[in-house]
Structure 1
Amino acid sequence: MKVVIVGAGNVGFTSAKALSKSHDVLIVEKDATMAENAKALLNASVLHEDGSNPRVIEAAIKRIDADTIISAIPDDAHNIFICLMAKRVKPTIQTVACLRDPDFTVKTSKEGLEGIDILISPELITSEKIEKLAVLENAITYDRLPGMNIDLATFRIGEGHKLVGKVVLDIDKPADCNIIAVNREGNVILNNETTEIHVGDRIRVIGSPESITLFNKLVGVEREAKEFVILGASIVGMETAKRLAQSNKKRLVKLIENNEGRSRFAARELDGVTVVCGDFIDVAVLKSEDVQRADVIIAASQVDERNLLACIAGLRFGTKKIISKYSNEEYEKIFRYTGIESIIGYHRIIYNEITKNLIFDDNAILATEGNREFFFSVVVGSRSPLLDNRLGDINLPDGVKIAAVKRGNRTIYPRMDTKFVENDRVLVFTHMANPVKLNRMFGSSKPLEL
């Protein structure tokens, strides 16, 4: 595949990083420093030009005879324009628009409006993940595979939780879910059927959205999350506040923003949300707003440093759950070092969306835990080593687990006696698996980074 990427910012750079490992990539960037940075760090060609110029769009597409164009500059209107112009230059080109503001969402070609084939909105995906994490009291990570209607969550096991001392096989969990891994002190246990659950374990569960909610209750909910404080009226902060406030449940949602104009805008736009103008990294402001009473603090500003300081303040207050977004990949380790587990990286969302939409087509693909863990799907064909075999009889490589099977309209969470049939779509989970052995079993469907 030959890809033009307009913009070498966070979205464009991450997209190029994901695609350039096996595809021809041409980046168009008008900022000289960003263009030089992309040229030095990526295996991609770089054109130092203004990508919103129709002449430049045409030249870039023709230069590599592009199959796909991704428009990822900060201006949503320009991203839509670039995709429309690309279709005029080459009607068969696949267009991808990265949009930040929900107000700019338009219909795609699949919905009957030609011009944009794929829309990617990292802000909306981030707000959805934050909202789910906020209401799943015991979850520390959350992801979804919408193409398979499957959710994935990691639950932290604490003192007094109902599952402590139980063996995985004996847990009376919902039928439409599967415990795929138990994380214990840095070790990942995949063959966990006889594993006894300990305090401090992190349990990775995959299942339907309903079963994930039920599993959260199964772990044990001491106090239902009802009071939420969101720090920062960014697009992510406002969308998260909107999602939380729209629930039928009685909730107190408060948003604190230091910019007066942005605070007024948020107050006009958000129903059922208390908006406060104040500096949320000032401990005195947080105390005056009774932030210490919150069940969940959500740091959602555009500045990673401010989010980090806000999270540290939350730790000082003893807040049970703290969630933060971050944009700079380097901040992931810093957040984890401070003890913040529920963090959502912009770069990881972009990576997953790009690989899912452009590399693996309709195959589910999800990277987690610093790209050491992957979910991907394969179809059982006539020559597959899975065909007509039961799960318990298959010698899977180390670090590999069959997480789910899509058979027609059914999703099966396999047991040892589950038998694979032709055309099954199998969701595979891998943790630091051997790429040679993976390739031998699953062929080219494995993720490129493994």
Structure 2
Amino acid sequence: MRILIVGAGEVGSSIAGSLAGSHEVVVVDRDADRVESIQYSEDVLGVTGDGTDLDVLQEAEVAAADVVISVTNSEETNLIVCATAKTRSDAFTIARVEQTNYLDTWQAHQGAFGVDFLVCTNLLAAQTIVRIVGLPSARDVNPFADGRVEMAEFDVPDGSPLAGQTVAEADRFDELTFVAVIPADTDDAQIAGGDTVLEPGSRVVVVGLPQTVREFARTLFTDGELDEVEDVVVVGGSKTGELTAHLLVERGLSPRVVEVDDERARDLAERVPNATILSHDATDPEFLTREHVQDADVVVATLGSDERSLLAALLAKRVGADRAIAVVDQPRYVELFEAVGVDVAVNPREVTAEEITRFTRERRAENVAIVGSGGAEVLEVEITDESVLAGRTIEAGVADLPAGVVLGAITRDDELVTPRGDTVVEVGDHVVAFAQADAVDEVTSKL
């Protein structure tokens, strides 16, 4: 496919990097240095100019594009780009927005703004946070097969009963598959072989039934206990914070939201009536202690400023909160946040790029989750007659796939089929597979 991306920032660059190996990618940006940089780092064509300018789009040959993706930092610009592209192209259009008001309009009137698929960064970040909150100890959680299967990533803590065990020794669940291990000294996901050792400080990625993934999480701890989350404190009444509170309420929780601005706090009290709104500075340790933040199961920092979110998260941990999750706007800060004590750092740009990549994967990948920073992916594919697995055992079919792929789960008629060597894959099955970065394109084309 020919894919035209407008915006060469973190989101656009990430998408271009994911797709350039298997598609013809053209990137448009006003910043000539950005265009030159992405042309140098990725195998893409570059055009310098304003993506809302029809002449620029025509220079980028918009009429030949199969997909147009606009992911600049201006949501209005992204909508205009898609609307303009529709006047000269039949391309499928994707736009990134920050606020939910555009999303509400688009959902009520499909095709509004000339957009075929609208991605709301704030909502995606909130959904990611709530999934992580729902599975204590997880670093990342992604649903597959309409929620019947989960992929989850966990730290292997010092003192864990699993620390030092091989994958074969730790694999005690029939409805769960170890697909990857991320060593402590890297962020590149590696295939989880039977003799792979789960070293302390490493991360392990598993795929299975949600309840089995939860059972596995319990085995990571000495006492085998996995306390259910009941008390969540959201620090910062930003739009992401508001959406997070909404989603937590939908899950039956009653979160506390701390917002320093009195007017915004009153607005939140009306918008999220089932949450407790506290108007105060969450970086005040005395306030945190007085409001028993030390008793919270999870504190979520969404202050709109990376520095203040980091401070709030670390203060909450210092007074005794069990876990801290922080929204990080700058991707380069993610590792820093987690190195200094934040349990999970969520970067909205990363989750946005992941969502858009899912929609632009060749053929029929129905869901995609990016694992680590090295480009490895967990993807869901529906098996057709053309698949190398169709009608064959996994042992036979995998022989025609590249090295660097593991089948994590199969769903058939709403039931989970745990993949084993003698399992026969049928047309219509949904396969959830892990693929290392250099195998993603070939795996996607063959499954």
Query: 2:191, 2:406 within 8 Å by CA — same for their partners in 1?
Result: no
Paired residue for 2:370?
367
**Which residue of structure 2 lines up, in the alignment, with residue 273 of structure 1?**
275
Counterpart of 1:100, as a letter, is E
Q: Find out whether 1:430 has 2:428 as its counterpart.
A: no
TM-score, normalised relative to structure 1: 0.78
User: TM-score, normalised on structure 2?
Assistant: 0.79
Task: Verify: 1:206 aligned to 2:211, yes or no.
Answer: no
| In the alignment, structure 1 residue 242 sits paired with structure 2 residue 241 | no
Flag the 1:106–1:208 CA change in 2: closer, same or farther, 3 A: farther
The 1:445–1:233 alpha-carbon spacing in structure 2 relative to 1, beyond 3 Å, is: farther
Q: Is the 8 A contact 2:162 2:170 kept in 1?
A: no
Q: How does 1:41-120 map to 2 (within 5 A)?
A: 41-43=37-39, 44-49=45-50, 51-52=51-52, 55=54, 59=58, 65-77=64-76, 79-90=78-89, 92-106=90-104, 113=111, 115-120=114-119
Q: Distance in 2 between matches of 1:27 and 1:87?
A: 17
Q: In 2 relative to 1, CA 287–331 (structure 1 residues): closer, same or farther, beyond 3 Å?
A: same
Contact 1:242 1:271 in 2 (8 A): no
Distance 2:306 2:145 in 1: 28
Mark the CA change 1:247 to 1:169 in structure 2 (over 3 Å): closer, same or farther: same
| Shift of residue 291, structure 1, vs aligned partner | 1.8
| Aligned equivalents of 1:20, 1:202: Cα separation in 2 | 28
Which region of structure 1 is more displaced relative to structure 2, 105-114 or 17-26?
105-114
**Aligned pairs (5 A) from 1:227-238:** 227-238=231-242
- Counterpart of 1:247 in structure 2: which amino acid? R
Question: Per-residue deviation at 1:240?
Answer: 0.7
1:111 Cα offset (Å): 8.1
Tell me how far 1:130 sits from its aligned partner. 0.8
**Partner of 2:409: helix, strand, or coil?**
strand
Given that residues 94 and 117 in structure 2 are in contact (C-alpha distance below 8 angstroms), is that contact kept between their aligned partners in structure 1?
A: yes
**Within-5 A mapping of 1:82-161:** 82-90=81-89, 92-106=90-104, 113=111, 115-145=114-144, 149-156=148-155
Shift of 1:85: 3.7
State the partner residue of 2:42.
Answer: none
SS of corresponding position for 1:127:
helix
Of 56-65 and 410-419, the range deviating more from structure 2: 56-65
Could you give the per-residue CA deviations for residues 345-375 of structure 1, whole angstroms, max 9, x where no partner exists?
2232122122211133531332211125322
1:266 Cα deviation after fit: 1.8
**Which range is displaced more, 330-339 or 145-154?**
145-154
1:254·1:276 contact (CA, 8 Å) conserved in 2?
yes
Asked if the contact 1:4–1:60 (Cα under 8 Å) also holds between the matched residues in 2, the reply is no
Q: Is the 8 A contact 1:20 1:42 kept in 2?
A: no
Q: Which amino acid aligns with 1:224?
A: E
In 1, Cα distance between equivalents of 2:394 and 2:178: 19
Q: How far does residue 3 in structure 1 lie from its aligned partner after superposition? A: 3.9
Quote how far apart the aligned CAs of 1:426 are: 3.4
- Indicate the residue corresponding to 2:225 in structure 1: 221
Name the residue aligned to 1:32: none
CA 1:393–1:362 in 2, change beyond 3 Å: closer, same or farther? closer
Return closer, same or farther for 1:113/1:385 CA change in 2, 3 Å cut-off. closer
Measured in 1, the distance between the counterparts of 2:36 and 2:83 equals 30
Q: Distance in 2 between matches of 1:45 and 1:167?
A: 44
Distance change >3 Å, CA 445–CA 376, structure 1 → 2: farther
CA distance in 1, matches of 2:251, 2:47: 46
Q: Which amino acid in 1 is paired with 2:91? A: I
Alpha-carbon deviations, 1:145-168, whole Å to 9, x = none?
466853211244668988788986
- Inter-partner Cα distance in structure 2 for 1:61 and 1:229: 47
Per chain length, whose mean CA-contact separation is higher, i.e. which structure has more relative contact order (CA < 8 Å, sep 6+)?
Answer: 2
Distance 1:107 1:362 in 2: 28
| Aligned-partner Cα distance in 2 for 1:360–1:383 | 14
**Higher mean C-alpha deviation, range 66-75 or range 342-351:** 66-75
Q: What is the CA–CA distance in structure 1 between the aligned matches of 2:128 and 2:324, rounded to whole Å? A: 13
Please give the alpha-carbon distance, in whole angstroms, between the structure 2 residues aligned to 1:273 and 1:360.
42
Q: Which residue of 1 aligns with 2:410?
A: 405
Q: Matches of 2:95 and 2:246 in 1, distance apart?
A: 24
3-state SS of paired residue (1:42): helix
The 2-side partners of 1:166 and 1:65 are apart by 51
Contact 2:306 2:329 in 1 (8 A): yes
Query: CA 1:85/1:403 → structure 2, altered by over 3 Å: closer, same or farther?
Result: same
The two structures, once aligned, show a CA RMSD in angstroms of 4.0
For the residue of structure 1 that corresponds to 2:331, the secondary structure is: coil
Q: Residue 292 and residue 170 in structure 1: after superposition, are their counterparts in 2 closer, same or farther (change >3 A)?
A: closer
The SS at the match of 2:93 is strand
